[in-house]
Amino acid sequence: MTTTKHKVHVLTGNEAVATAAKLCRVQVVAAYPITPQSSVVETLSKIIEQGELKAEFVTVESEHSALAVCIAASTVGARVFTATSANGLAYMCEQVHWAAGARLPIVMGLANRAMAAPWSVLNDQQDSMTMRDAGWIQIFCRNNQEIFDTFVQAFKIAETVHVPVMVCYDGYILSHTVMPVEIPAQESVDAFLPPYKPHTILDPAHPRNLNPVTLADPRRNGDGELCHGYMELRYLHQEALLNAPAVITAVDQEYGKAFGRSWGGMAWGYQAEDAEILLMAAGSLCMEASVAVDRLRQEGIKAGVLGLRVYRPFPKKELIEATKNAKVVAVFDKSMSYGNEGPICADLKAALYGSGSAPIVHGYITGLGGRDVKYRHLMDAAKTSLTAANNGISTKASEWINCQI
């Protein structure tokens, strides 16, 4: 155990992010301000200018450039970091795909915020969900301690599987709320996270041409070597993501050994073992769901929380296992796949199909654009779902909670 020199600080989610980036000894930070992410950038610029962290801070002119700078810096072997929210992420989109396709271990903080139009600076998770198919790992945090710990883990995961990681945390609810956060000593973080050993590096001593135009079929390069075609590269990317759960789980466990805290790897449960009804969500909403579950239990209802920590890669195996004894799962999405249903709900149904674990799955849309979600709403939804399930109603249209239409 190396937890002897830790200190407890009272930090906002954004400060937890900046502190983690510092202790992870990031070498290049490039970001463009946007509410509610801005204080991450401000805190880091101060840390860097005060000389507490030896890093380059690049005040770019847009998010697109922020990620471009990170991509370039990562390509030459630096440990890099950026952070954004909502429209900032959307504006980065081209580079989000590039970072993943180039297999660079970039770590991004995403203070989840609703997408415009219309403008809203408040929280939901539409921004990250919109980027779910870009090929990044997406991890959702439920409190500020998990934000800090997940960032430290994220660099290790990214640098092992060579896939960028987006650490998602709810805007305002976590980004601007203070909580006690245990901060380990620098030596302990150093011991856990050794310096980045670049796997792809642009180096004048060994000239290379990275990410050239790739044709449909594998071809020989100028040196006569047979190179992968586009589809082979994509297959390898998918393979890396499919293998990532083992790494993510192992890193979380190793972190637990080193610092005394683990966060459930891919997914976690609360009062879930004997639950008839599971309340499933990602991020801080899980904390509200835990309160709902405690109250439901007081009323004699066997309820539990199924917390989705990693959304991409989607933890099919873990979710099948976690839901196999439940009668019904109520999924609370804070985003929408417009024209379909909540993305977590749809993905859970797809994962369960043909798996032998066949609980009823009901979808709920909640908290869009900062609409308050109370534990009472979650309790009511859980009861509705349980009653429906007991009456044999297996499918029903997604319900929009507290939508006053």
Partner 1 sequence: MTPAVKSSAAVQQSDVVLRYLRPHKKFPNLWCPGCGNGIVMSSLVRAIDKLGLAKDNVVLVSGIGCSSRMPVYLDFQALHTTHGRALAFATGVKFARPDLKVVVITGDGDCLSIGGNHLIHACRRNIDITTILINNYIYGMTGGQISPTTPSGSVSTTTPYGNMEKQFEACELAKGAGATFIARTTVYHTSQMDRMITEAIQHRGFSFVEVLSNCHTYYGRLNRLGQATALLRMFQEKAARGKAKSIIDEESKDMIVTGVLHRDDEKTELCDEYQKLLDSLSKGKA
Type of residue numbered 195: P
Residues near ligand TPP (CB under 6 A) are 32-34, 63, 87-88, 91
Q: SS3 of 233, please?
A: helix
Minimum separation from the CB atom of position 362 to partner 1 (A): 35
Question: Would you say 127 or 252 has its CB closer to partner 1?
Answer: 127
> Minimum Å distance from CB 71 to ligand TPP?
18
Can you tell me the distance from the alpha carbon of 129 to that of 312, in angstroms, rounded to the nearest whole number? 10
- Which amino acid makes up residue 162? H
CA-to-CA dists, residue 362 to 34, 359, 387, angstroms: 34, 10, 12
- Minimum CB distance to partner 1, residue 46 (Å): 5
Q: Does 369 bind partner 1 (CB under 8 A)?
A: no
Helix (H/G/I), strand (E/B), else coil: 48:
helix
CB of 45 to partner 1, least distance (A): 5
x/- track of binding to partner 1 for residues 40-79 (CB under 8 A): -xx--xx--xx------x-x-xxx----------------
Taking the CA atoms of residue 10, residue 14, residue 18 and residue 24 in that order, the dihedral angle to the nearest 10 degrees is 90
Tell me if residue 20 falls in helix, strand or coil: helix
Cα separation of 42 and 244, whole Å?
A: 32
153 binds partner 1 (CB under 8 A): no
Least CB distance to ligand TPP at residue 22 (A): 23
**62 versus 221: smaller Cβ distance to ligand TPP:** 62
Q: Residues 10, 94, 119, 133: which binds partner 1 (CB under 8 A)?
A: 119
Q: Does 30 bind partner 1 (CB under 8 A)?
A: no
CB of 21 to ligand TPP, least distance (A): 20
Among 6, 9, 33, 56, binds partner 1 (CB under 8 A): 33
60 versus 227: smaller Cβ distance to ligand TPP: 60
- The two structure tokens encoding residue 348: 């859970």
Of all helices (H) and strands (E), which one includes residue 316?
A: helix 316-323
CA distances from 272 to 92, 225, 293 (A): 38, 53, 10
Joined tokens for residue 226: 């047979």
Residue pointed to by tokens 């005060």: 50
**Shorter beta-carbon distance to ligand TPP: residue 45 or 355:** 45
Question: Which residues of the chain form contacts with partner 1 (CB under 8 A)?
Answer: 32-35, 38-39, 41-42, 45-46, 49-50, 57, 59, 61-63, 87, 91, 116, 119
